[in-house]
Structure formats: structure tokens, C-alpha cells
Amino acid sequence: MNTDSSHSWYILGAGAIGGLWAHTMQVWGLDITVLARDEGQHNLLQSQGLQLSQDKITHTSHPKSLFPGIGHATIHNLLVCTKTYATLSAIEPWRKLLNPKANIILLQNGMGTAQSLQTVWPQFNIYCATTSDGAWRKAPWQVIQAGTGSTQMGAFSTHLSPQKMPTQIERLITASQQQENTLTLHWHKDIHTPMWHKLAVNGVINALTAIYQITNGELIQHPKARPRLEQLCRETEDVMSRCHITPIPHGLLNHALRVLQQTADNKSSMLQDCLAGRPSEIDAINGFIIQQGSILHLPCAAHRQVCDELRQHYPTS
């Protein structure tokens, strides 16, 4: 393991994706530290370890962790897996430890956070990642990997060259390629395209599954939700085309239906958040699409309707 601190990674966000990555990066032999929210979260991780279940086999790893107020490390590389709405407040306690030229990768659903981060702290090198890996959190530091996909990463900050993969990200990608049965990672020269494609899928699926409290598979034939899915697809493709985003091959509806079939038994992340009384990511998903639409004078009525209904059903969302 290389102990030069410029090679070390810090992971923020104790959810399913944060846990999956913390475990996997340790297996890759990288020096990683989990940034816990508080002392309780840190103590629990140190006592029970991080459990990841893959194909009914549970692996336990023991990553290092810090909580705000302890630790004098310099953070050169930060992977952020928090919910979008919590990003700035989650980074704030670690702000003083961040190297002024730190690499920050945002691995989250939704869009808008990278723009906010860049506005507040323009000096950081911001990268975005979008994944089709499926995971859910059974309990604190216990993660179930529900499906394997791939992760695309690319440069977001305007001062970065989208062509040039930084050394630290190249090391991650090399590590992922050298091992079998692990996370699959790719560098993407135009990260906005896969991010929009993922946003579009989340935008047409997640809110409907939460409003009707249905699994992904149930949405396919649902008499009320299915026509709304189709309307959301049309509106989203309109916004994407007016924003000059490369269209999804074979159309958004076909793509969404394929995702729904492949994840038929899953509860979407938004349904899980709403049922647990947590805030949802609706603002960074449907809210972002509405915001882009309104710049282009597109009403996005179906997106507005699902936002209103979700808030009526789940006041905490």
C-alpha cells in the first residue's frame, strides 16, 4: 500500500454506495479512510466493521475512520457519496483539511450539486461519476449489493481538461481493471451525457414508484403510473434535446422499461427514502429537469405534478 498521502482516498457518505466503494477500494489495496458524520458512527464502524453482502456471501472489512474534530490529515482525494441535498453541509466540517487543489469526485444521483460546489469552492478539481451499480443499506455499515453495473467518471470543473484523466483516478481505473468480480470503472470524456441519461431514468421512475408505493417491476403494467411514465419520458426527452444532450439509444421509454425489468424486485432509492421518512432527492432529479425546462420555456407539467404529489404524500420528502 502506498502511504504517500497524495495517494490516499477519503470517503464521505455512509450509505449503500459509500459502503460499497469503501469496501471495494480496500480490496484494491488503496489507502482509504471513511469520514464519519459523528463519533457514534465512527465507533460503530470501528467495533463492527463494514459488512458487504454479495451473492449471499458477507465480507467484513475494517476501514480507518475519522469524525469531525479529530484528525489532522490533509485530504487530497475525496469521494462524496452523500445524498445530493446533504453535500455542502457534509463537506463543511472537513473543509479545513482539504488541500486547496483537492480532487473531489461526486458519486450521486441527481444533478446540480457539482455546480453549487464549484460556485462555493471554485479552486477544487471537481469530477462527477454516475453508476448503474445497485446497492442498499440494510443497517448502519451493512450493505447489500443488489446488482452489478458500471461507473462512468469524468471532469466537471471548467478548469479541467475533459480528455485528461488525473493520476489518482487512473489508479482507481487500473485497480478496477486488474481484478475480477469487482466494480467496473470507465473514464468518460463528456460526463454530462451519462449523467443526463441517468438523471432521465431516475426522473421518470423514482417519483412514480414512491407515489404509488410499488416496486420497479410493478410500474411497467400499473394502470395509472404507466401512462404517467410515458408522459414523463416525452417531457424529459424534450428538455434533453433542447439542451443538446445526446439522445438515449432507442429512446428513454425503452431504456427505462429495460431498467425496470432488470430491477423488477427493487424498491427505488426514492421509495426507500420516503418510506423511511428521509428527505428525497426529488429537487436534484425532477426539480433539476423542471429548472432546465423553465430556462427553455418548457412547462414540464408531468414533472411538476409528481413533485407536488410526492410532497403531499410524504411531507418530509
Give me the residues that bind ligand PAF (CB under 6 A), please.
109, 201-202, 205-206, 216, 259, 263, 266, 268-269
Closer CB to ligand PAF, residue 142 or residue 269? 269
* Complex with ligand PAF: residue 206 or 236, whichever CB lies closer: 206
Nearest distance, CB of residue 202 and ligand PAF, angstroms: 5
- With respect to ligand PAF, which residue has the nearer C-beta, 40 or 251? 251
Residue placing its CB nearer to ligand PAF in the complex, 15 or 68: 15
Contacts 24+ apart (CB under 8 A), 2-9: 2/31, 3/31, 5/73, 5/74, 5/76, 6/76, 6/77, 6/168, 7/31, 7/76, 7/77, 7/168, 7/171, 8/32, 8/33, 8/73, 8/76, 8/77, 9/33, 9/77, 9/78, 9/79, 9/168
User: What's the closest the beta carbon of residue 34 comes to ligand PAF, in angstroms?
Assistant: 23
CB 163 within 8 A of CB 179: no
Is the CB of residue 180 less than 8 Å from the CB of residue 148? no
Closer residue to ligand PAF in complex, CB, 84/268:
268
Query: Of 153 and 205, which CB lies nearer to ligand PAF in the complex structure?
Result: 205
Q: How far is the CB of 247 from ligand PAF (least distance, A)?
A: 18
| Minimum distance from residue 133 beta carbon to ligand PAF (Å) | 9
Query: Shortest distance, CB of residue 93 to ligand PAF, whole angstroms?
Result: 27
The number of CA neighbours under 13 Å toward the Cβ of 139 is 6
CB of 109 to ligand PAF, least distance (A): 6
Q: Give the residue with the Cβ less far from ligand PAF, 102 or 144.
A: 144
For residue 104, the minimal CB distance to ligand PAF (Å) is: 22
